[in-house]
């Protein structure tokens, strides 16, 4: 094995780069395989305790060159229940001692921090700002004061991507934390994912306050891609958000839960004003008939001549095997989409797969000659944890 050219070893390892167990096994084969494997093994480092942080520090002190492989640090703290506390003051040491060591770090993710971030003070964020190479920040399922959440978003001088997932526990600022944490930097975001949960704290306007902060700081002037969950109490604010960023937006992803599956939502989101839109992805769950009609109502108002890709994901909760094709197919198979290059339809629910193939192939008249049409169907039977996959490509790429 060691007689193989190192470039060939790198190529082989590249095929299994996402299989961490295979990578670890390969690293034990020889020094060549070890060198090729560790670049992928160290690409993402997960830290869940102070002991792991100390071990990482010792590793880098022994071989500082290993740091060039580390692109993402994931701080993952798990709790069994949301009311439990996860004390992690050792995060302070990560901000204090590691910026100069992790010179290639581009992404930081913090998940499961359930202690109100009491040590996340002004000094902590000052140290955190030394991570000048970080361009992406993800905060998921943390119990943090809003001031701390906003301080995280403005602590990195070159931040371009921000993802906030499942922040149901935005709390009041503890007395031990200054409520007026001043932004260190104003991020210039190109990509934003804002996926709050339907918690009462979000109903109190936390979602809106995060968006207002980003707007007031000028962080969204260059926004190109956005992924949003539309909540019952945030539909109007999402519409204003899309309108305010319509000139720069190129990629939009919307998640529309079942309780919002009505025919008025398409006209309330301002998508018709997004003249530079290149791709649109919709996730709609609920009644099979309303799912397709809601999607059709959104497609009918699109006016962007730059649109190249449409991805539609429908998830049905009823067991009726029939699917309402007419409105959705009619909206898609329209001369307005003459420049479209790819259409993806993904169904999850009761569906006759053979019938779907025949009906879709016959229904499209304009689109068949102009774009790739990808259809993925999974037939989900009630009370049975089993799914059947189906894929069909129709037409040729332009």
| CATH number where 58 lies | 3.80.10
Residues 55 and 204 in one domain: yes
Category of 383 on φ-ψ map: left (φ > 0), alpha (ψ -120 to 50) or beta: left
Interatomic CA distance for residues 300 and 288, integer angstroms: 19
Residues 91 and 199 in one domain: yes
pLDDT of residue 156: 93
How far is C-alpha 280 from the chain's CA centre?
14
Residues 80 and 172 in one domain: yes
pLDDT of residue 163: 94
For 162, the token pair is 């921000």
For 67, the token pair is 């740091």
In a domain? residue 230: no
Pairing of strands 136-140, 161-165: parallel
Residues 83 and 153 in one domain: yes
Residues 87 and 208 in one domain: yes
In a domain? residue 33: yes
Is 75 exposed, middle or buried, given 0-12, 13-18 or 19+ CB atoms closer than 10 A? buried
How big is the chain by its Cα radius of gyration, in Å? 24
For 236, the token pair is 């109007």
pLDDT of residue 188: 87
Domain count for the chain, please give it.
Answer: 3
Residues 216 and 94 in one domain: yes
Pairing of strands 387-394, 372-380: antiparallel
Nearest to 142 by CA among 51, 79, 69: 79
Residues 271 and 324 in one domain: yes
Burial letters for 83-94: b for 16+ Cβ neighbours within 10 Å, e otherwise? Answer: eeeeebebbbeb
pLDDT of residue 231: 74
In a domain? residue 228: no
Which H or E element spans position 25?
helix 20-26
Residues 256 and 200 in one domain: no
Q: Along the 398 residues of the chain, how does pLDDT read in single tens digits? A: 456 676 676 676 666 666 667 766 676 676 767 777 777 778 889 999 899 999 999 989 998 988 998 999 999 987 555 555 666 788 889 999 999 999 999 999 998 887 666 778 888 899 999 999 999 999 988 878 888 888 899 899 999 999 998 765 555 544 444 445 666 788 889 999 988 776 544 445 677 778 888 887 777 888 999 999 887 666 777 888 888 898 899 999 998 876 654 556 766 788 888 989 999 999 887 766 677 778 888 888 888 888 988 888 877 665 554 556 667 777 777 778 777 888 777 776 655 555 555 555 555 555 555 555 565 555 443 322 223 333 334 343 33
**Nearest 5°: phi and psi at 10?**
-60, -40
Helical pair 235-244 and 207-216, crossing angle rounded to 10 deg: 20
Of 175, 190, 223, which marks where a domain is finished? 223
SS3 352: coil
pLDDT of residue 2: 54
Residues 130 and 276 in one domain: no
pLDDT of residue 182: 62
Residues 58 and 154 in one domain: yes
For 163, the token pair is 């993802």
For residue 133, give its domain range: 44-223
Nearest to 71 by CA among 109, 32, 120: 109
Distance in Å from the first CA to the final CA of the chain = 44
- Other C-beta atoms closer than 10 Å to the C-beta of 227 total 18
CA angle centred on 371, ends 366 and 376, rounded to 5°: 105
pLDDT of residue 300: 84
**Residue 80 contacts residue 137 (beta carbons within 8 Å):** no
What are the E-state strand segments in 329-371? 342-349
For 138, the token pair is 């993800």
**Nearest 5°: phi and psi at 250?**
-115, -25
CA angle centred on 187, ends 186 and 190, rounded to 5°: 150
Residues 13 and 48 in one domain: no
Residues 268 and 204 in one domain: no
**Residue 218 contacts residue 186 (beta carbons within 8 Å):** yes
């Amino acid at each position: 094995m060691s007689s193989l050219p190192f470039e060939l070893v790198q190529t082989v390892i590249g095929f299994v780069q996402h299989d961490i167990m295979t990578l670890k096994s390969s690293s034990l084969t020889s020094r060549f395989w070890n060198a090729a494997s560790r670049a992928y093994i160290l690409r993402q480092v997960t830290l869940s305790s102070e002991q792991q942080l100390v071990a990482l520090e010792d590793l880098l002190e022994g071989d500082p060159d290993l740091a060039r492989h580390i692109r993402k640090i994931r701080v993952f703290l798990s709790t069994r229940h949301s009311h439990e506390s996860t004390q992690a003051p050792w995060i302070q040491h990560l901000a204090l001692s590691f910026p100069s060591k992790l010179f290639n770090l581009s992404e930081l993710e913090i998940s499961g921090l359930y202690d109100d971030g009491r040590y996340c003070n002004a000094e902590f964020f000052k140290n955190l700002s030394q991570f000048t190479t970080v361009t992406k920040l993800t905060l998921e399922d943390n119990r943090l004061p809003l001031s701390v959440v906003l301080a995280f978003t403005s602590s990195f001088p070159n931040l371009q991507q921000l993802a906030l997932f499942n922040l149901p526990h935005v709390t009041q600022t503890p007395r031990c934390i200054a409520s007026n944490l001043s932004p260190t930097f104003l991020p210039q975001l190109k990509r934003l994912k804002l996926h709050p949960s339907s918690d009462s704290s979000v109903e109190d306007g936390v979602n809106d306050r995060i968006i207002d902060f980003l707007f007031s700081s000028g962080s969204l002037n260059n926004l190109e891609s956005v992924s949003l969950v539309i909540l019952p109490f945030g539909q109007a604010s999402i519409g204003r958000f899309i309108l305010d960023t319509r000139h720069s937006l190129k990629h939009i992803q919307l998640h529309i839960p079942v309780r919002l599956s009505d025919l008025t939502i398409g006209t309330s989101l301002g998508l018709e004003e997004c003249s530079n839109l290149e791709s649109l992805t919709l996730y709609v769950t609920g009644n099979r008939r309303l799912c397709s009609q809601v999607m059709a109502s959104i497609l009918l108002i699109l006016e962007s001549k730059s649109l190249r890709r449409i991805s539609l994901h429908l998830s049905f909760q009823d067991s009726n095997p029939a699917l309402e094709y007419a409105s959705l197919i009619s909206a898609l198979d329209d001369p307005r989409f003459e420049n479209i290059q790819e259409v993806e339809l993904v169904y999850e629910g009761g569906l006759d797969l053979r019938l779907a193939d025949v009906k879709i192939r016959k229904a499209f008249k304009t689109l068949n000659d102009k774009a790739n049409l990808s259809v993925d169907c999974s037939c989900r039977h009630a009370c049975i944890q089993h799914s059947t996959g189906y894929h069909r490509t129709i037409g040729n790429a332009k």
